[in-house]
Chains A and B, each alone.
Chain A
């Protein structure tokens, strides 16, 4: 399958992370009584953002590897080395 699920998954978590984290920073702090005084929106938003970014990075790396291996495998190292410039 051409679509790597890690990309939409990562993107979804990045969006959720930004939404929750942003709301946790900007919103009313009185609502956190029920969550034991913890700003759970902010903290969980940060965790989701980080997870999303890792997924996107892995998905892009996977896509690059798949692209390279579809060419001749011997070139793989060379292609990766040059792509860093």
Chain B
């Protein structure tokens, strides 16, 4: 299926990726160069890296899958679940992250609070990044295997078809390892910019061809039911829309708690802004990122909608989880095949007998459906690029938090800067080693990975309450923050143990203590877990802070809103002023919501 031109494109891309690492190698003189890119990156580069680090393969594949499953409502994950938080972190929070000269988010927590709050955040974050990069590695290798596009060269080498999985993991891990080892965060950021443009270049022609085929947006509307193409239809109640969640849960759970918790506190994205060359560039980073981000639904969700709207395939030129699934393909919808029951070989059905569709194959099947050889190589390279940018984001965040917040803080505090630079490179090697181990663990023990992800969700849910109080209420104390985080995490676990999404069985999905409430969907359960966790953390932090001794104000300068000088931006031209960019971004998002109402 792939010909010489496709391979050439892929190889050229790998050469460029490694070349950037090599070119940056000679600038890596101090640990600041390696971990913070010397704080010398222009705002637009940081901005594109900011979204690219988040744009892993799971995002691309997952959003198209949601598009096929839920329709245009998936864009809430962007317009509600990302843009407002990105604006907030740029306008209000970046002055503290960048201004405090903290080298990482956990380090900010130590400056603002105390050692235990930092330790809790640093350790949970470090473990989480390693596992998420492992899980995405696993997902990608699995997908490559499913597509069967790399089978031919593997066979020519005399290896069994299952070697595609191992080769996928090994090659991508080695490439990411090489370019981060050589050029640190600068190399990751520069490659993320490359990856950003490549992803756009690989998917834009897909949208063009797909829309042309179905007769544009209006043609798409006539092929699908109305709830597929209207993002706010039936959001009044959880039972009248495809997402299975009502507007309040969506706005509070996704739009406030989860989204602000991720975009405003996750070091993986914040690190990109910390690398900027000035305070105003750091503040502009998430705002510049917001503009392409708000149009991403067109790029990643629309393919899912088109995939489901196409006439259902009878004979299968498309990928499915089994090579033998040609017979079952007619049970699919559009070019999305059904999931295959590994025992019977027939389509997988739920308890009501409805066929379960393998939505994750929406994007890959769109590529195979529309792209001839040549541009197919470009599309696959874009997929690989998105995978590597997501993984590199995790790895660079891991090596920094490991070296500064764990190694330098608790293991070896008095070493030379050269030693920490060396440790950063070592951390890159063993971070990727651990990710590979996690990928194989996901392959053999899927339940353990599901459980770990659940635990991470509990730890992450309350985080934003801690940062919000820490940055905007000077009375917040370290004891308050730490007990709030614990209370929030426990509340999340408790809420999960007492509730269950409808149709799910007791266990990893919840209800493992007893079921006192049933949610109409898993999404609704997740959002409400977050809302409860955040509220618990918020309240406990306030109460414990009031009961403990306040910090002296001198210590909090530059760390808390009321004790920090406002950054000035009046001298900048209008297009560089964070406040003006924020207003423009918000206005466009409102407009987009109205258009797709």
Question: A residues near B, CB below 8 A?
Answer: 1-3, 5, 8-9, 11-13, 15-16, 19-20, 23-24, 27, 31-32, 34-36, 38, 40-41, 44, 48, 51
Contact = CB atoms under 8 A, between A and B. Distances in A.
A2 B9 contact: no
B12 A19 contact: yes
B20 interface: yes
A1 B370 contact: no
Contact of B13 (A12, A23, A36): A12
B408 interface: no
Q: In this complex, which of A1, A8, A38, A40 has the most chain B Cβ atoms within 10 angstroms of its Cβ? A: A1
Contact of A20 (B23, B24, B378): B378
Interface of B: 5, 8-9, 12-13, 16, 19-20, 23-24, 27, 37-38, 40-41, 45, 186, 190, 193-194, 197-198, 201, 205, 209, 212-213, 369-375, 378
Contacts, number: 87
A27 B378 CA distance: 16
Contact of A40 (B5, B24, B197, B209): B209
A31 B375 CA distance: 11
A20 B24 CA distance: 29
A13 B13 CA distance: 10
A40 to B, nearest CB: 5
B310 to A, nearest CB: 12
Contacts of B374: 20, 23-24, 27, 31, 40-41
Contacts of B194: 5, 8-9, 12
A38 B213 CA distance: 11
Nearest to B277: A1
A30 to B, nearest CB: 9
Contacts of B198: 12
A40 B375 contact: yes
B12 A16 contact: yes
Q: Which label, helix, strand, loop or mixed, suits the secondary structure of the A interface?
A: helix
Contact of B372 (A9, A13, A16, A31): A31
A66 to B, nearest CB: 11
Contact of B38 (A1, A16, A27, A40): A1
A51 B200 CA distance: 12
Nearest to A32: B372
B23 A15 contact: no
Contacts of A36: 209, 212-213, 370
Q: In this complex, which of A5, A12, A36, A48 has the most chain B Cβ atoms within 10 angstroms of its Cβ? A: A5
A7 B194 CA distance: 11
Given A9-B194, A16-B12, 9 more contacts: A5-B193, A5-B194, A8-B20, A8-B23, A9-B197, A19-B5, A19-B8, A32-B372, A40-B371
A26 B438 CA distance: 45
B380 to A, nearest CB: 13
- Please give me the 9 A-B residue pairs with the lowest Cβ-Cβ distance, nearest first: A31-B372, A41-B374, A23-B374, A23-B5, A1-B40, A5-B190, A12-B16, A44-B205, A5-B193
Contacts of A27: 5, 374
Contacts of A20: 5, 9, 374-375, 378
B520 to A, nearest CB: 40
B352 to A, nearest CB: 36
Nearest to A15: B12
B12 A8 contact: no
Contacts of B201: 13, 16, 44, 48, 51
A36 B206 CA distance: 12
A16 B75 CA distance: 31
B369 A34 contact: yes
A35 B209 contact: yes
A61 to B, nearest CB: 14
Given A3-B24, A5-B190, A8-B20, A35 B370 contact: yes
A48 B5 CA distance: 16
Contacts of B369: 34
14 contacts: A1-B38, A8-B194, A16-B12, A20-B5, A31-B373, A34-B369, A35-B375, A36-B213, A40-B209, A40-B371, A40-B372, A40-B375, A44-B375, A51-B201
